[in-house]
Each structure stands twice: as C-alpha cells, then as structure tokens.
C-alpha cells in the first residue's frame, strides 16, 4: 500500500497532468536481487492509455517516460531509488529507514494483518462419507481446509469451519438393516468392528446378492426418511462409529471442524424444492425435477429424483441458502477434488437464480484440487491392492521421520555442519518424530499447486535438503540454537532496548522478505493458493542459509542487530508454521 502510493506520487510529480484516479500501480516482487525489491510495469500501461491525449509532451516511448519518472527528484521515506530498466519497467529500491522501522514494529507489536473489511467465511472441507473410509482425497481436503481456516482467522475474518459429512441418503437403508441383523443388541453391546468400512462392505455384499435383504433395506430407507425411532437410533450409532474413526485423524492432524452434515438440512429440503418451484425455474424431466442453469446441453441440477427422493444437489442448494441467508456469510468456500467442479458450478448458478447468491456481495468459490497418486504415479493403493488407510499413512510417516531424526542426531554427534549439540530424551524423540511425520505430509500437500495431481512419496516429503517441512523445521531449530547461544535471557526486554539497523546487504534482503508476509497472505486468500505461502517460507529459509555464509551473527560488532533480525525471522517462521500446520521442533 505505502509503496504503491509512494510510486504514484512519483509518477504524478513527473507528470502532474495525469488523471490520478484513472490508473493504479501494479507491483511485482523481485526476490533474487540484493538492491531492488519491486518492479512495476505500470508505466507501459499508462503510456498506452494516455499517449493519445498528449500527456507526455515530446517523450516518444514508455522507456523515455520511465526514465523521466526515475530521474524526477522526489523525497519520501518509503522509496530510496527508482530506476528505469528495459521496456519501460521501473525497479524500486526501498528506503533502509523504512525497512528498519517496519522490522522494529514487528519486533515490538508482533505480526499483524491489516484487514480492510471483515467477512464471515464458510470453509466447507474434509466432509467424508459415513461408513466409508476417509480416503486420500479427504485427507487433502482436510489439510488444505485447516490451513485455509488458520490463514483466514489470522487475517481477522470470522470463519465457520464446516464438515459437510455424507450422513444421509439411501445407503443407510442397507447399513441399518445390516446393523440390526448382525448386532441386534448394539445399544448395550457396541459392535466391535475392526474397520468401519467392513460394515459397509458386508452390507453391500448382502444387498447385491440377497433379494430379500435388498427389499427390506429399501423399506428402511423409507422408514428413516419418516424418522422412525428404531431407524434413527441405528443411524445414530452408525454415525457415531464413523465419527470415532475420523476424529482420530483430526486429532493427529490437529484439525478443528464442526459437523453440519447432510442430515442437518434434511428437514428443510421439501420447502427448498417448493421455493425453487415458486420461482418458476424448475422443469419436469422424466419424472425428475430439474433446474437448467446454462443452455440446453449442459447437465442440469436435479433437485428431486424421479423416485421422489432428494440428493446431493438438493442438499447443497439447501446448504447454500442456509449459509447465505441464515448464517449471513459473505464468502462460501468448498474444498473437494476438481472432479466435483461441475457440481459446484451448478449449485453456484442455481443459488444465483434463486437470488440467494448475489455476486459481488456474496462469493461462492470451489477450491478444487488434484488427486493424490501413489509414488509410481498410479492410483494410490497398498501393495495388496487395497485402499490405503489414512492412519497407516500417518504412522508410516512418523516411523520414517524417526529414522531421519536419528540420522541427524548421529551426524550432529560427528560434528557435522549443522551441529547444534543437544540431546533428546526418548519422549522427545517420539514427539519430534510425530511432529515431523505429520508436518511432512501436510506441507508436501500444501506446497503443490492445488489443481495438479501429485505423487505421495515419503522419500521426497522427508528430504532434508528439499522444499520440505523437514528442511524448514531444521532451519528453525538452527535459528533457535543461535538465539539460545547468544545468552540473552529475555528477548522481550532486549527487543525494547535495542533497535534493528541494517548493516549488511543480506540483512536488508532478508528483512524485506519478512515485510512481504502480509502481501503473501493476501494473495493466498485472494487466489486460494496456499502453495505461495509455502514457497515464501521456503525462500526465507534458503535466504537464511545464504546469509549465514555471508556474515557472522554471534561475536561480531553487529551481533546486536543481527540477533534482532533472527528474532524477527523466528517470529515470521513460527507464525507461518502455524498457518501451514507445522508444529516446530525446538532442538535436535
Ligand atoms: N461428502 C462429499 C464427498 O466425499 C464431499 C462434500 C463436499 N461438500 C459439499 N458441500 N458438497 O465427496
């Protein structure tokens, strides 16, 4: 913001006749240059926009205009220097004093996000289906969703974390039937199912092979719809068993989410359908009630099936209305794999036709993501061909992380480069391995560009030298160890008594990187691209390593300012870690 307005002032000083409300400054970051932090293509744009109006005198090209802006004297305390480079681009060097003030403000006040307008945001994520195993697709939705919520919350938005679980529908007929047949005393004697999925598999088997079972199951569906108490009880038990399974995953991943499953909307489905009919947008199609949203050829929304039942579309229409009109949410985000993008397009259009969704006042966005594939790039299966259990994945990751940490400790004892010389107790080993394993999985997922598929590969996600949680966590440990070795007892006091002052180009470079934190988070939630935050954290860690090679921190005449910079980096890293779900390790 400050930077943009400082540039605008410069442009207007050079060309006072430009209509100042008719153009905006675009900023691009430069991250690999020690002297310049930003560049802007704005001159090119305004040159083309205003050249016909003769606002540039006898200057004939964008390059000349850029040169004139660069050479115009203009004093402010944000920008040190502006230079015209090729094609009319301007590069911008920030003022040292500005950078120092900003870093000192972070040190004293902590990291703050300047929120322009508070919104109420629904994040619909994770959302597994009852009685079916949560699969890697749900894992991805869970990881992305939790991180997105944390980022929005940090920005100061009001976030509603919604688990739209599949807890209603025809599959419950056979599940209830099976439960009542096999576990008639389920209320006193809880079914000891090894895997919840077995209930589903067994029920399905009977359903497909046994005509009598099938008919009875269909009757149970009707009874359940009519809220028959026996059916409702059985249904509750099945949901409860599922809930226990996926709560284990949420606990391990540190995920907070509230259930508003499909059943939550069940009571209002009939009125939703009536409302759509009253609006005159419903057509009959072979007995089904449909809403056409975009031309003939596209698949329509189906809000009542030909057998009179409701479905996924009906529920999502009801959910959209509830979230917008009742909960008064401004922004609705849905996280599922990209395979469901046409479903959501229909829902968004349908909600618009109904007048619930009124862009740009409300926003409905599908944050679709690619598939998680096996290490070989094929469908993710165990060696025996079964689907992979999420709990097993987490355990595997932990086990491998433990190996990784042990190896690291051994290297430390041999006095290798990164030695920080601290011993771990067995419990500390265990905690460290759990944190690292989980972080490795989460971060590897988050750093992918969301739409693409990726291969689930332990070796890659635990590589201590790549863009991985492991690398970041070790950087952090090293940073802590430097701060510890400084002997300073209380950084809170130290921060108030000392001031950060730039004494080295690499300090400056790192400091400006820290100042981008807010902008990065803004683009992450604008574009729903959490991978940019990952790249940002990784870039800081790479730059720390570069800086270590350039200057000494301890026992140097500039130790004081460098420790303050370390502290500011630590703060940004710790906050960023939280946002991507990494629980750091304090020592190794
Ligand atoms: N239960 C669905 C599935 O597993 C995901 C639900 C996503 N949310 C929604 N409002 N449709 O595919």
Residue pLDDT, tens place only, 555-575: 999 999 999 999 999 999 999
Dig out the tokens for 317 from the structure: 């229409």
Contact 127, 165 (CB under 8 A): yes
Contact 65, 43 (CB under 8 A): yes
- Preceding omega of 429 cis (within 30 degrees of 0): no
Cβ neighbours of residue 509 under 8 Å, at least 6 residues apart? 34, 543, 547
Looking from the CA of residue 319, the nearest atom of ligand 1 is 10
Dig out the tokens for 162 from the structure: 């919604």
Q: Which residue has the tokens 């003030």?
A: 101
Looking from the CA of residue 334, the nearest atom of ligand 1 is 8
3-state secondary structure of 413: helix
Looking from the CA of residue 166, the nearest atom of ligand 1 is 1
* C-alpha span between 452 and 341 (Å, rounded): 14
Question: Which residue's CA is the nearest one to ligand 1's atom 11?
Answer: 316
3-state secondary structure of 14: helix
pLDDT of residue 380: 86
Rounded distance from Cα 347 to ligand 1 centre (Å): 13
Q: How buried is residue 439: exposed, middle or buried, by Cβ count under 10 Å (0-12/13-18/19+)? A: buried
* C-alpha span between 132 and 473 (Å, rounded): 35
The secondary structure of residue 323, as a DSSP letter, is I
Q: Which helix (H) or strand (E) holds 534?
A: helix 531-550
Rounded distance from Cα 164 to ligand 1 centre (Å): 6
For residue 543, pLDDT over 60 is answered with yes
Contact 405, 433 (CB under 8 A): yes
For residue 309, pLDDT over 50 is answered with yes
- Preceding omega of 147 cis (within 30 degrees of 0): no
Question: Which residue's CA is the nearest one to ligand 1's atom 3?
Answer: 128
Rounded distance from Cα 399 to ligand 1 centre (Å): 31
For residue 24, pLDDT over 70 is answered with yes
* C-alpha span between 238 and 234 (Å, rounded): 6
* Angle CA 388–394–397, to nearest 5: 105
pLDDT of residue 295: 63
Question: Ligand 1: which of 144, 164, 169 to mutate, most ligand atoms within 8 Å of CB?
Answer: 164
For residue 549, pLDDT over 50 is answered with yes
Domains of the chain: 2-94 (3.30.1360.70), 171-255 (no CATH), 396-580 (1.10.730.10)
Mean local confidence (pLDDT), 124-148? 92
Contact 41, 58 (CB under 8 A): no
Report residue 86's pLDDT band, with 50, 70 and 90 as the boundaries: confident
Question: Ligand 1: which of 265, 340, 367 to mutate, most ligand atoms within 8 Å of CB?
Answer: 340
Contact 283, 313 (CB under 8 A): no
For residue 405, pLDDT over 50 is answered with yes
For residue 417, pLDDT over 60 is answered with no
Contact 257, 298 (CB under 8 A): no
Mean pLDDT over each residue of the chain, to the nearest integer = 92
Question: Which residue's CA is the nearest one to ligand 1's atom 5?
Answer: 127
For residue 257, pLDDT over 90 is answered with yes
* C-alpha span between 91 and 78 (Å, rounded): 14
Rounded distance from Cα 338 to ligand 1 centre (Å): 12
Across the beta sheet with 90-94, the strand order is 28-29, 38-40, 90-94, 79-84
Report residue 195's pLDDT band, with 50, 70 and 90 as the boundaries: low
Rounded distance from Cα 554 to ligand 1 centre (Å): 53
Q: How buried is residue 336: exposed, middle or buried, by Cβ count under 10 Å (0-12/13-18/19+)? A: buried
> Left (φ > 0), alpha (ψ -120 to 50) or beta: where does 125 sit?
beta
Looking from the CA of residue 340, the nearest atom of ligand 1 is 12
Q: Do β-strands 301-304 and 331-334 pair in parallel, antiparallel, or remain unpaired?
A: unpaired
Question: Ligand 1: which of 127, 132, 167, 168 to mutate, most ligand atoms within 8 Å of CB?
Answer: 127
The secondary structure of residue 299, as a DSSP letter, is P
Looking from the CA of residue 137, the nearest atom of ligand 1 is 4
Mean local confidence (pLDDT), 533-546? 96
CA 259 to chain centre: 20
pLDDT of residue 530: 98
Mean local confidence (pLDDT), 153-161? 98
* C-alpha span between 277 and 280 (Å, rounded): 5
Rounded distance from Cα 425 to ligand 1 centre (Å): 43
The secondary structure of residue 530, as a DSSP letter, is T
Count of C-beta atoms within a 10 Å radius of residue 419: 14
Q: What are phi and psi of 331, to 5 degrees?
A: -135, 130
pLDDT of residue 418: 47
Question: Which residue's CA is the nearest one to ligand 1's atom 8?
Answer: 164
3-state secondary structure of 195: coil
For residue 255, pLDDT over 90 is answered with yes
* Closest C-alpha among 482, 456, 467, 473 to residue 404: 473
For residue 423, pLDDT over 60 is answered with yes
For residue 133, CA distances in Å to 177, 262, 323, 476 come to 20, 17, 27, 36
pLDDT digits (tens, 9 = 90+) for 324-346: 999 999 999 999 999 999 999 99
pLDDT of residue 415: 59
Rounded distance from Cα 126 to ligand 1 centre (Å): 8
Q: Which helix (H) or strand (E) holds 302?
A: strand 301-304
Contact 333, 302 (CB under 8 A): no
Rounded distance from Cα 282 to ligand 1 centre (Å): 24
Rounded distance from Cα 213 to ligand 1 centre (Å): 28
* C-alpha span between 225 and 230 (Å, rounded): 12
* C-alpha span between 453 and 473 (Å, rounded): 25
Question: In this predicted structure, which of 342-346, 374-378, 519-523 has the lowest mean pLDDT?
Answer: 374-378
Looking from the CA of residue 165, the nearest atom of ligand 1 is 1
Q: Which residues line ligand 1 (CB under 6 A)?
A: 124, 127-129, 164, 166, 316, 319, 334, 336
* C-alpha span between 104 and 317 (Å, rounded): 49
pLDDT of residue 117: 95
Looking from the CA of residue 343, the nearest atom of ligand 1 is 11
Mean local confidence (pLDDT), 62-81? 87
Mean local confidence (pLDDT), 2-16? 89
* C-alpha span between 325 and 271 (Å, rounded): 15
Looking from the CA of residue 124, the nearest atom of ligand 1 is 8
Count how many Cα atoms sit within 13 Å of the Cα of residue 41 in the half-sphere of its side chain: 5
pLDDT digits (tens, 9 = 90+) for 450-502: 999 999 999 999 999 999 999 999 999 999 999 999 999 899 999 999 999 99
Question: Ligand 1: which of 265, 336, 346, 364 to mutate, most ligand atoms within 8 Å of CB?
Answer: 336
Rounded distance from Cα 127 to ligand 1 centre (Å): 5
pLDDT of residue 556: 92
* C-alpha span between 337 and 334 (Å, rounded): 10
Rounded distance from Cα 201 to ligand 1 centre (Å): 21
Rounded distance from Cα 356 to ligand 1 centre (Å): 21
For residue 129, pLDDT over 80 is answered with yes
Count of C-beta atoms within a 10 Å radius of residue 375: 12
pLDDT of residue 52: 79
The secondary structure of residue 428, as a DSSP letter, is H
Rounded distance from Cα 380 to ligand 1 centre (Å): 20
């Amino acid at each position: 913001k400050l930077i943009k307005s400082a540039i605008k002032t410069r442009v207007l000083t050079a060309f006072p006749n430009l209509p100042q409300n008719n153009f905006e400054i675009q900023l691009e970051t430069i991250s690999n240059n020690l002297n310049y932090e930003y560049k802007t293509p704005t001159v090119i744009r305004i040159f083309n926009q205003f050249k016909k109006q003769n606002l540039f005198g006898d200057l004939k090209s964008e390059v000349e205009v850029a040169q004139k802006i660069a050479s115009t004297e203009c004093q402010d305390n944000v920008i040190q220097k502006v230079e015209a480079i090729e094609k009319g681009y301007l590069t911008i060097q920030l003022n040292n004093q500005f950078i120092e003030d900003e870093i000192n403000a972070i040190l004293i006040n902590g990291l703050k996000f300047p929120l322009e307008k508070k919104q109420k945001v629904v994040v619909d994520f994770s959302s597994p289906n009852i009685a079916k195993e949560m699969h890697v697709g749900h894992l991805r939705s869970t990881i992305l969703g939790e991180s997105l919520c944390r980022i929005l919350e940090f920005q100061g938005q009001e976030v509603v974390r919604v688990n739209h679980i599949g807890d209603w529908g025809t599959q419950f007929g056979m599940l209830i039937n099976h439960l009542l047949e096999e576990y008639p005393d389920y209320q006193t004697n809880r079914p000891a199912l090894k895997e919840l999925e077995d209930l589903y598999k067994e029920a399905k088997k009977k359903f497909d092979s046994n005509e009598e079972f099938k008919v009875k199951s269909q009757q149970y569906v009707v009874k359940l719809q009519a809220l028959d108490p026996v059916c409702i009880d059985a249904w509750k038990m099945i949901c409860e068993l599922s809930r226990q399974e996926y709560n284990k995953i949420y606990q391990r991943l540190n995920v907070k989410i509230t259930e508003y499953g499909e059943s939550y909307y069940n009571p209002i489905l009939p009125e939703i359908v009536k409302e759509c009919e009253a609006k005159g947008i419903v057509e009959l199609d072979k007995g089904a009630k449909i809403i056409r949203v975009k031309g003939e050829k596209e698949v329509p929304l189906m809000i009542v099936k030909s057998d009179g039942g409701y479905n996924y579309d009906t529920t999502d229409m009801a959910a959209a209305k509830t979230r917008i009109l009742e909960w008064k949410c401004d922004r609705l985000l849905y996280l599922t794999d990209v395979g469901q993008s046409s479903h959501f397009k229909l829902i968004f259009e349908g909600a618009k036709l109904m007048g619930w969704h009124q862009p740009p006042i409300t926003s409905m966005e599908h944050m679709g993501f690619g598939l998680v594939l096996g290490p070989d790039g094929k469908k993710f299966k165990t060696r025996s061909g079964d689907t992979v259990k999420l709990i097993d994945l987490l355990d595997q990751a932990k086990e491998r992380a433990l190996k990784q940490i042990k190896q690291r400790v051994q290297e430390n004892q041999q006095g290798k480069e990164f030695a920080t010389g601290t011993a771990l107790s067995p419990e500390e080993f265990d905690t460290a391995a759990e944190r690292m394993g989980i972080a490795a999985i989460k971060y590897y997922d988050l750093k992918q560009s969301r739409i693409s598929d990726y291969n689930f590969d332990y070796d890659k996600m635990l590589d201590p030298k790549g863009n991985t949680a492991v690398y970041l966590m070790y950087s952090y440990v090293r940073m802590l160890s430097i701060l510890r070795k400084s002997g300073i007892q209380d950084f809170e006091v130290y921060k108030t008594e000392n001031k950060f002052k730039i004494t080295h180009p690499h300090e400056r470079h790192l400091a400006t990187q820290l100042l981008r934190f807010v902008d990065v988070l803004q683009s992450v939630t604008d574009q729903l691209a959490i991978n940019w935050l990952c790249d940002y954290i990784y870039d800081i860690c790479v730059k720390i390593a570069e800086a270590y090679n350039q200057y000494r921190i301890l026992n140097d005449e500039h130790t004081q300012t460098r420790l303050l910079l370390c502290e500011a980096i630590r703060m940004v890293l710790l906050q960023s870690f939280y946002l991507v779900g990494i629980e750091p390790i304090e020592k190794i």
